[in-house]
């Protein structure tokens, strides 16, 4: 997924709207080396949201398979490690060992057909925080 791991003049590209199917998710990574910032983008109604790909319980990645972040009924984000469920629109854990905790949201902006990390976001600080 090298396209999503790079950046453009406008800032880091997470994915395109075309790649992000309605009610679907798209994984991305930003940065280089062994510890890039890993996250995912999803559509919730007409909005596009992004979260860090890390469960607040044990800090593991949420998914085992690429782009696979949603429960079978596609109503929640699910942690593949221990089946915790998170609201898609807020990242709030509503079931599981991290009940009441939140996924870390990332600011995004849409430019043309691209979903970008919002301008002014300190990517280096995010990478350092989540490495």
State the pTM of this model. Answer: 0.87
Encoded tokens for 24:
């679907």
Domain ranges of the chain: 2-130
Q: What is the pLDDT of residues 11-64, one digit of tens each?
A: 689 999 989 876 689 999 998 777 788 999 999 988 999 999 999 998 889 999
Band the pLDDT of 3: cuts 50, 70, 90: very low
CATH architecture of the domain 2-130 equals 3-layer Sandwich (2.102)
CA angle 38-117-84, nearest 5°? 40
47 phi and psi, to 5 degrees?
Answer: -95, 155
């Amino acid at each position: 997924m090298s396209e999503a791991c790079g950046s453009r003049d406008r800032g880091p590209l997470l994915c395109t709207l075309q790649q992000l199917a309605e009610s679907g998710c798209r994984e991305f990574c930003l940065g280089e080396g062994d510890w890039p910032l890993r996250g995912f983008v999803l559509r919730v109604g007409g909005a596009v949201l992004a979260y860090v790909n890390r469960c607040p319980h044990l800090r593991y990645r949420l998914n085992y398979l690429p782009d696979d972040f949603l429960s079978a009924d596609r109503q929640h984000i699910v942690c593949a490690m221990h089946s915790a469920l998170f609201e898609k629109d807020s990242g709030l854990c509503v079931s599981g060992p991290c009940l009441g905790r939140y996924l870390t949201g990332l600011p995004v902006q849409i430019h043309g057909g691209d979903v970008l990390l919002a301008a002014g976001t300190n990517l280096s600080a995010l990478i350092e925080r989540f490495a």
